[in-house]
Amino acid sequence: MGADRGALLPMAVRAVAALALAAVACGPAAAQDPLRGKAAELYRQALQTGRSGADAARLKATLRPTSDGRSFFLVQHTERIPSRWIVSLHGAGRPARGFATDDAVVWQPHLENRPVGLVCLQWWLGTGDASRDFLAPMEIYREVDLLLRELKVAPQAVMLHGFSRGATNTYAVAALDHGRGRRYFALVVASSGGVALDYPPNQALLRGEFGADPLRGTRWVTAAGARDPEAERDGVAGMRRTADWLRRQGASVVESIEDPAFGHGALHLNARNVARVLDLFLQ
């Protein structure tokens, strides 16, 4: 997986602190549905140690806990009921560190005039680099499905995006959606995160555990920067290899973005790249 693949308080006191934090950070909408327990602690960690904590705290967004209370979603939109949505999986470095709050801040300027909602899932659980420190693809899809059902999102109305280590999970998540799920994803964007064939969820995909040919008919964009330090894994070479693999699975790669001026994360480092992807999704 990618290189960016990025004293206890009494329960009552912690609950009050979590409520106050949510209310201050995200305004009335978050105060109506506050995070508690582990999810509140993880959100506080994101604001305090993430790259864009101050900007994230000013976002007009709603916080939603995951069903198991271990993590959270950040949900943002300008229209009352958007017809199209982006579900985004943040990057996580090595050693692991990555936050949905930073992801939302990165997306914000690109969506200001677009009729699309944004859902960022905190899929790193805040400590460690082992498998148990992340939501696995099946857990990611379970939580995304529950939230999208609640939001009454229609099939083929969502773009799934993953950056770096998040991108390495898009292959299994997309297979779950298309092979066993509700087929929400009209387009999947893998940004600077090539497929890892030794990753157990991808091995399960290839064994048919997510359905027969679960990626057949899915539509993809791959994105890479020519200056990525991990060229064979996440850069142009790695994403070309990934695009070839996707085609062998029966998927359609509708665009391969290769930016000569940027490295890891080239998709969002060049606004024209993001505009191209959004145009493909919203056309």
Q: Is the pLDDT of residue 2 over 90?
A: no
Range of the domain at 109: 59-282
The confidence score (pLDDT) of residue 15 equals: 34
Strand partners, 255: 221
- Residue 205, sorted as left (phi over 0), alpha (psi -120 to 50) or beta, turns out to be alpha
Quick count: other Cβ atoms within 10 Å of Cβ 27? 15
Query: In which band, very low, low, confident or very high, does the pLDDT at 113 lie, cut at 50, 70 and 90?
Result: confident
The confidence score (pLDDT) of residue 9 equals: 30
pLDDT digits (tens, 9 = 90+) for 144-188: 999 999 999 999 999 999 999 999 999 999 999 999 999 999 999
3-state secondary structure of 207: coil
Higher pLDDT, 178 or 7: 178
Mean predicted lDDT score pLDDT of the chain? 90
The confidence score (pLDDT) of residue 79 equals: 74
Alpha-carbon gap, residue 81 to 117, rounded angstroms: 8
Is 27 inside a domain boundary? Answer: no
- Tally of domains within the chain: 1
The confidence score (pLDDT) of residue 68 equals: 95
Q: Is the pLDDT of residue 251 over 90?
A: yes
Alpha-carbon gap, residue 75 to 181, rounded angstroms: 21
Pick from 68, 170, 161: which is nearest to 118 by CA? Answer: 161
Query: In which band, very low, low, confident or very high, does the pLDDT at 20 lie, cut at 50, 70 and 90?
Result: very low
The confidence score (pLDDT) of residue 81 equals: 84
3-state secondary structure of 6: coil
Is 26 inside a domain boundary? Answer: no
Alpha-carbon gap, residue 19 to 109, rounded angstroms: 28
- Mean pLDDT for the stretch of residues 37-41: 97
**DSSP 8-state assignment for residue 155:** T
Q: Is the pLDDT of residue 33 over 60?
A: no
Is 102 inside a domain boundary? Answer: yes
Query: In which band, very low, low, confident or very high, does the pLDDT at 12 lie, cut at 50, 70 and 90?
Result: very low
Q: Is the pLDDT of residue 87 over 50?
A: yes
Is 153 inside a domain boundary? Answer: yes
CATH number at residue 256: 3.40.50.1820
Q: Is the pLDDT of residue 8 over 70?
A: no
Is 28 inside a domain boundary? Answer: no
Instruction: Give first-to-last CA distance, the chain, whole Å.
Output: 32
Alpha-carbon gap, residue 123 to 103, rounded angstroms: 12
Q: List, in order, residues 6 or more apart from 80 with CB less than 8 Å away.
A: none
DSSP-derived pairing of the beta strands 219-225 and 252-259: parallel
Neighbouring C-alpha atoms within 13 Å toward the C-beta of 250: 12
Rounded to 5 degrees, what angle do the CA atoms 52, 58, 64 make? 90
Q: Is the pLDDT of residue 93 over 90?
A: no
CA torsion sign for 139, 143, 144, 145 is positive
The confidence score (pLDDT) of residue 18 equals: 37
